[in-house]
Amino acid sequence: MTGRILRRVQLTADTFEWEVEADALARAAHPGQFVMVRLHGGSERIPLTLADFDTARGVVTLVVLAAGKSTREMMAAPEGTTLQSLAGPLGMPSEIPAVERVTLVGGGLGVAPLYPQVKAFRAAGARVTAVVGFRSRARVFWEDRFAAAGDELIVVTEDGTRGERGRVTDVLARRIADSSCGERVVAIGPLAMMRACAELTRAVAVPTIVSLNPIMVDGTGMCGSCRVLVGGRMRFACVEGPEFDGHAVDFADLALRQPRFRAEERRARAVEESCRLVAAADRSEQSG
């Protein structure tokens, strides 16, 4: 399957949104699922969570942080680009149980994959509170979308430049203390944030779902790269997740496994930088 970038929006300095024309994918998609994207023949396959999908228009929305070589190349791709491949939807759909009240917590880029769940829980009749946290105002995105889709939106920034000053865990702790966090919590964001949310809700036994982003290679259960320890059992996040019971995830094991490709990522960045310098030198030689 492939897809064409219909619309590209720069959300922050290093984060962008793509609307991709992919009719079959949009029709098959569910909240919580992801796709494997390859920009061109020479690039890596990158796992990206579906941040939205519109069955009527046949489009899916992806929100991407330019973290390294491949995602920076994606950020430079113009509207109209046809992706070399787009595989999905992959992974298990989010569980959307019938609850009266739910608190959905997103941190940084994790805010985007939370959005389909805001819509799904609301459609299932729950009162939805979204708590979204960013480092500062410059990193805030999709505030308007969350305000429109949920019942209540609480924005927090670490430096207080937008919304409340503090962290999403401060808000979650407050909601636990005043018994307003509901019967379920979903937390998506950096590992440390999801771990802290799970610890807070463990104390009051509120079921808490987290979405894990271990290194994925094939995304189809073949390579074993995405192994995570959940409830003492090895699970493959790409086919059995990426969402799991946050009270059962072994976050310490995950934190140890995550950086194992750092050397290769550094090498890729160094090659990218030297290619950029050579191209710049060629350009200045030609113009001079």
* Residue 28 binds: one of ligand FES, ligand FAD, none (C-beta under 5 to 8 A by kind): none
Of 75 and 215, nearer to ligand FES (C-beta) is 215
Q: Which one among 14, 23, 44, 253 touches ligand FAD, defined by CB under 6 A?
A: 44
Using the rule CB under 6 A, is 14 a contact of ligand FAD? no
Q: Which stretch binds ligand FAD (CB under 6 A): 41-49, 139-147, 155-163, 243-251?
A: 41-49
- Cα–Cα distance for residue pair 23/6, rounded to 1 Å: 12
**Residue 122's closest CA among 143, 104, 142, 140?**
104
Give least dist CB 180 to ligand FAD, A.
29
Q: Does the protein bind ligand FAD through residue 61 (CB under 6 A)?
A: no
Place of tokens 């009240």: 101
DSSP class of 91: S
Q: How far is the CB of 35 from ligand FES (least distance, A)?
A: 13
User: Is residue 46 part of the contact set for ligand FAD (CB under 6 A)?
Assistant: yes
* Interface mask toward ligand FES for 167-206; x: CB under 6 A: ----------------------------------------
Structure tokens at 219: 């995304």
- Locate the DSSP E strands across 13-92: 15-21, 34-38, 46-54, 59-65, 85-90
Count of residues engaged in binding ligand FAD, rule: CB under 6 A: 25
| Helix residue ranges, H only, the chain | 23-28, 69-76, 111-123, 143-149, 168-177, 191-202, 237-240, 251-257, 262-287
Indicate the residue among 70 and 117 with the shorter CB distance to ligand FAD.
Answer: 70
How many CB atoms are closer than 10 A to CB 70? 21
